[in-house]
Structure 1
């Protein structure tokens, strides 16, 4: 449990963020920062009174996000941060937008409209299209996964480098915390947990250092596809890192969500194949560490589930079997040479 000093600091930070959120709803704020940041309104014509506002995220786990929709259905998102990740995200977006993932490309990042340090606020234009995660069928999901792979190829092929490098061993901080909590909740399964950690360690010994500008949180909920563009959002964690970090997280999140949504009937196998084939066709050398990162994300989810669940939970059997088989699948993955 956090100390009283830490709790007081967190409470003060939440209160300060709430005050900034209140400011974002004022007409003078909307006129200056929202309409003033959009080229469509720089000659006037916008009315703050006609702008719809909604808070789309403010759960205390990161940046708060406020959505604005103008009378012409132009959407802008304001992200209000606790830390310096907003300025970093703006620098990443601006650099990528101006270097191949902007106006003249089908595959692009969210258009950065500005960073305003007095509010620790990033403004971006809303993405068009639908997220890949909204696919209703396996065929729709495979189509979206193909576009997601093509977008990732563009990012990983870029010469852009922004931020401090993230190294493969950094995953161990989160992983060991999850392991400890799962073991504490299920002491009778400690031997099984240690065996999985040992097998993961064998993968770690074979990791080859390789860096690209990675997304840092590449999930199918962040990939928006329209007939004209494929736009990816939420690059707050983008840094030079192993490309397989993005690949492993995308596959794990997509397969897990599909398994849950279909009550175990699908694991997005077609979408997995399409995603990997499309990516490997262009950047095969980037898949060398995929088993390591795919296994990492699977273990994090498995051990999180175990720390908050018990064998008498109806979900226990299906989800444990799913995560265990996913771990084996990731562990045995070999790229096609």
Structure 2
């Protein structure tokens, strides 16, 4: 096995997993990290969290590196990104001056420690290593990782909020990376060392003016749901700090709905229904209230799906052919369906973004909100439920989807629910990328997602009286609808006019 075959895709999945999991590349990576640390023996385990493959260009892997805390027996996690391939080196060289300046600042402020340097390059492996908080696209990341700056920023944001309080403000914060994705996105968590003086705050970083738009949208959505969400709320940002290009959010208690799907219960069923109610309310949010939103149509969603899955045809050509056929058929079918005017959409409505808290469900993450077909949100959530039920090997998928539609469907146009099934098929292809490339069962789980997408498409074509163009799939669970009945409207508790 060699790196060139892995990067080109000639070595298929075996080549990708060789880079990510085999002894030789891992040893090379550990040697590079030891050289960056002030003492080599500080390096602990390197935990692979995520990986991406751009055929013919690069492999990118995201790790949490455990580093020994001096004077203790404990370790702290430090996120890093490793890129193999000429594209990764080109990106690094393009931002070389900015990276050097950021690294110098991190070293001056003590934010690099215990690392002596935050980048490493190994040409013979086409490897580039980047250690948090380094990112040339987000120059504010270094100072937003500095507890001293965090303390002053949060104090200023609290004072600017105009909310009077006699409670003393925290003097120190612990900073934790929740997400480190150089060039893409970063999320940080700020925990006061004295919990009695304040709560947890999350920080989401932006480039350009994106943060201001999300602040407006999330605030308006939160206010709308407070009036129309039937007890479901949306987390509203605490502040938009323009000079740091960051949104601050309050911490939430509870856990995402995706965690609760491991153990189905009546409480989970009620939460699914309430999520449907809240989504229907969001789709009625007036455009004049939401403000300007970028448009997003079915063609754009299909294009995004094709890009998100462009590694699959290289690794498994037969699956690539199936994806191409399905997306082509989806576009043809969409042209036959009646449409409706676009509405406010969440844009990334999934169980990870429905937070189950003691006070009731809370929706989060309005970064992807668009002016789009509301069927997009419905279809994405139905596909997401399929993914989690498959991941957890849980029965009851049909019942879970039914309960969600019980909350959403009353009063919704029938045609919207039909289009939602078309979006569900497309989203099942798109979310196949969430199967981790370094999992040994990547191929079987990815194939299962594509087969489920084909099954949804088959049933939809039969519902519309069209011949199914995809092969029948043995063992695929029957859906809510049949050719004779069409899409069955949910009934029962939760229906509303």
Answer yes or no: is 1:58 the counterpart of 2:180.
yes
Higher Cα Rg, which structure: 2
Deviation at 1:330, TM superposition (A): 5.0
* Structure 2 match to 1:108: 233
* Structure 2 match to 1:76: 201
For residues 1-337 of structure 1, the aligned pairs below 5 Å read 1=57, 2=87, 6-9=91-94, 12=98, 14-15=135-136, 16-23=139-146, 25-26=148-149, 28-33=151-156, 35-36=158-159, 42-49=165-172, 51-60=173-182, 62-70=184-192, 71-72=195-196, 74-101=199-226, 106-135=231-260, 136-139=262-265, 140-159=267-286, 160-162=289-291, 163-178=293-308, 180-188=310-318, 191-207=321-337, 208-262=339-393, 265-266=394-395, 268-285=397-414, 286-302=416-432, 304=433, 314=441, 316-317=443-444, 319-333=446-460, 334-336=486-488
- Partner Cα distance (2:205, 2:227) in 1: 23
Indicate the SS of the match to 2:328: helix
CA contact (8 A) 2:221 2:290 kept: no
Distance 1:131 1:41, change over 3 A: farther
Distance 1:25 1:203, change over 3 A: farther
Query: 5+ unaligned residues in a row in structure 1: which ranges?
Result: none
- Taking only aligned residues, the RMSD between alpha carbons, in angstroms, comes to 3.3
TM-score calculated relative to the size of structure 1: 0.83
Distance 1:103 1:307, change over 3 A: closer
Query: 5+ unaligned residues in a row in structure 2: which ranges?
Result: 1-56, 58-86, 100-134, 461-485, 490-497
More strand per residue: 2
Distance 1:234 1:181, change over 3 A: same
Distance 1:183 1:111, change over 3 A: closer
Deviation at 1:218, TM superposition (A): 0.7
The one of the two structures with greater contact order (alpha-carbon pairs below 8 A, sep at least 6) is 1
More helix per residue: 1
Indicate the SS of the match to 1:320: helix
CA contact (8 A) 1:76 1:124 kept: yes
CA contact (8 A) 2:252 2:357 kept: no
Deviation at 1:278, TM superposition (A): 1.8
TM-score calculated relative to the size of structure 2: 0.59
